A and B are shown apart, each in its own frame.
Chain A
């Protein structure tokens, strides 16, 4: 990649020797302009505004003159951090991410390794089947899962009942609701992780395994010694993008539990939306930035933990 980029640069210098760099830059910016305008207005601008707003007292009533608000310093952040519902949301989000992400990665990796064991028959069938949940609307599938997990009439408890187990109220019992959402999220994202890992496994040369086998390494030793270290960059990539997604979990909560029972499933994103619908815009911005910082920290930690050992 590096050398490629250098080669590109070199090629340009040679071919543009006759033209003025200023004209070249103008042409280049003309390609960037449409994107940039939209990007500034609808992405970069709003991020900045959200940051500023989190230090003001903006409410829904100020929507027509958002510039007339007053600055309140870190008041919103102080209020947010001291708010019990926020603390509950932060704890729930942490539990959701810290359990959900490793679980999804482990199962996705497991599925990829199974498919990589020389499975020839039904290979495409398995790959497509495992990926199916990934492409579906999480809102719609949450509706289906809400019905599946119904206490009396749900399929899950009916199946458990057939084995003589009296299933709990998956979404109505505060001890189970959050974990039910985690399970559904893992179900939803496992396939994309599998595909990422399959791509990663393709890059590992089979010769390494053969050499290890000749040396008498067993299945586990080959995994520890070859697959895992060589898959580190892939694991990092998978961990980061899955983490960023999981930290923002919202739709499941909105459709399946509305944050309940007893706030046991309220997430940071859901709480931010909740405050928005009450008109507390500045408060929403403060919660959103706490969430953003959480994502940045999580990403940084993963980079440290999974940095390829060189």
Chain B
């Protein structure tokens, strides 16, 4: 993680995991503050999960309870049998998978061209693509809707997917990563007569594992959580994604059914939390790879 410098102090320190000025055990007040932070940051999730097993009646009790007095699965039964949450879950999954595959393929192709090939217009292309990182989605959603309507794709999976198949972030990430791969590898393959497409698919892409994992996870997550576009383009119950469904229920017909809303939130959030905890190093890798060195 960090380079060990042989100084006077190092001998008396723990392995310098922290790299901080004082690499001792860490004072008690630091732990106290950190645990307080955890309580505030994780507490709402715990409360949400516990709440999803309560009745709306219990959730409206004053003072509120922590643990469900009479745990019930009725909220989940409601979501999946009375309401169409299985369908929303399916829509969210299909859209997120398609968007992820698109970004992985198209962004790494362009990333390769930008990192390892020479062509006129390369610089401008990179600047223009990167520049769109700054453009808020609120600028594009209206023209996109007009376009989608004229293509006849409103309220279809294609309409949900197409606008997000490529993105500037993926290009940036893949270009950075591929630029770091040694040129000797490419030159050797070229000497052997390999074409650029062979080199990309057979040599470069297999070496991009960590970057692709990061891009894939972040793209999937972004799509899973995205709201404005699905809200606009999914016009009927059959095409709602999970965030659209939960937002519309929370502001409409189920507004007061807070137990159901809690369970709905669990369905949106918990799968992501599980994936995150299992794969957390790829999330932080993304920041290390795109940023700041």
**Which residue of B41, B109, B134 contacts A34 across the interface (Cβ within 8 Å)?**
B109
Binds B, one of A78-86, A96-104, A171-179, A192-200: A192-200
Q: A164: shortest Cβ distance to chain B, in Å?
A: 13
B83 at the interface (CB under 8 A from A): no
A137 at the interface (CB under 8 A from B): yes
- Residues from chain A with a CB closer than 8 A to the CB of B180 are 4
Q: Determine whether the beta carbon of B142 is less than 8 Å from that of A288.
A: yes
Closest to B51 in A: A147
Q: Determine whether the beta carbon of A25 is less than 8 Å from that of B63.
A: no
**Which residue of A126, A213, A233 contacts B292 across the interface (Cβ within 8 Å)?**
A233
Mark contacts of B250-280 with chain A using CB atoms, 8 A cut-off: 1 yes-contact digit, 0 otherwise. 1100000010011011001100110011001
A7 at the interface (CB under 8 A from B): yes
Q: Which of A208-248 contact B (CB under 8 A)?
A: 209-210, 212-213, 219, 222, 233-234, 237, 244, 247-248
- Residues from chain A with a CB closer than 8 A to the CB of B272 are 135-137
- Residues from chain B with a CB closer than 8 A to the CB of A276 are 141-142, 145, 232
- A98 and B13 alpha carbons, distance in the complex (Å): 41
- Residues from chain A with a CB closer than 8 A to the CB of B15 are 120
- Residues from chain A with a CB closer than 8 A to the CB of B44 are 133, 141, 144-145, 148, 187
A262 at the interface (CB under 8 A from B): no
The dominant DSSP class at the A interface is helix
Closest to B8 in A: A210
The dominant DSSP class at the B interface is helix
Contact (A288, B268) CB under 8 Å given A28-B119, A64-B150: no
Mark contacts of A1-23 with chain B using CB atoms, 8 A cut-off: 1 yes-contact digit, 0 otherwise. 00011011101111110000100
Q: B46: shortest Cβ distance to chain A, in Å?
A: 11
- Residues from chain A with a CB closer than 8 A to the CB of B24 are 118
B202 at the interface (CB under 8 A from A): no
B129 at the interface (CB under 8 A from A): yes
Interface centre among A21, A142, A162, A233, by most B CB within 10 Å?
Answer: A142
B22 at the interface (CB under 8 A from A): yes
**Which residue of A50, A126, A155 contacts B64 across the interface (Cβ within 8 Å)?**
A155
- A53 and B119 alpha carbons, distance in the complex (Å): 34
Q: Determine whether the beta carbon of B246 is less than 8 Å from that of A139.
A: yes
Mark contacts of B1-17 with chain A using CB atoms, 8 A cut-off: 1 yes-contact digit, 0 otherwise. 11001010100011111
- Residues from chain B with a CB closer than 8 A to the CB of A244 are 133-134, 136
B81 at the interface (CB under 8 A from A): no
Interface centre among B47, B112, B115, B287, by most A CB within 10 Å?
Answer: B287
Chain A's interface size range is 35 or more
**Which residue of B7, B18, B51 contacts A116 across the interface (Cβ within 8 Å)?**
B18
**Which residue of B115, B125, B138, B273 contacts A248 across the interface (Cβ within 8 Å)?**
B138
Q: Determine whether the beta carbon of A207 is less than 8 Å from that of B284.
A: no
B78 at the interface (CB under 8 A from A): no
- A138 and B227 alpha carbons, distance in the complex (Å): 9
Closest to A271 in B: B138
A94 at the interface (CB under 8 A from B): no
- Residues from chain B with a CB closer than 8 A to the CB of A11 are 183, 186-187
**Which residue of A7, A43, A120, A203 contacts B183 across the interface (Cβ within 8 Å)?**
A7
- Residues from chain A with a CB closer than 8 A to the CB of B125 are 32, 36
**Which residue of A43, A143, A237 contacts B250 across the interface (Cβ within 8 Å)?**
A143
**Which residue of A25, A120, A131 contacts B25 across the interface (Cβ within 8 Å)?**
A120
- Residues from chain A with a CB closer than 8 A to the CB of B31 are 119, 121-122
**Which residue of A117, A129, A247 contacts B22 across the interface (Cβ within 8 Å)?**
A117
A266 at the interface (CB under 8 A from B): no
Contact (A269, B138) CB under 8 Å given A119-B18, A120-B25, A234-B291: yes
Q: A33: shortest Cβ distance to chain B, in Å?
A: 9
- A50 and B224 alpha carbons, distance in the complex (Å): 26
- A39 and B5 alpha carbons, distance in the complex (Å): 48
Q: Determine whether the beta carbon of B119 is less than 8 Å from that of A25.
A: yes
Contact (A137, B268) CB under 8 Å given A153-B60, A210-B9: yes
**Which residue of B60, B119, B138, B144 contacts A29 across the interface (Cβ within 8 Å)?**
B119
Interface centre among A47, A137, A148, A192, by most B CB within 10 Å?
Answer: A137
Q: A195: shortest Cβ distance to chain B, in Å?
A: 5
Contact (A281, B186) CB under 8 Å given A119-B34, A128-B277, A255-B251: no
B200 at the interface (CB under 8 A from A): yes
Q: Determine whether the beta carbon of A139 is less than 8 Å from that of B288.
A: no
19 A-B pairs (CB sep. < 8 Å): A27-B196, A35-B109, A35-B166, A46-B139, A119-B31, A128-B276, A128-B277, A128-B280, A130-B38, A144-B48, A187-B44, A205-B5, A206-B23, A212-B21, A244-B133, A244-B136, A247-B136, A269-B136, A289-B139
Pick the 7 closest A-B CB pairs, nearest first: A28-B119, A46-B143, A118-B18, A118-B23, A209-B21, A31-B113, A11-B183
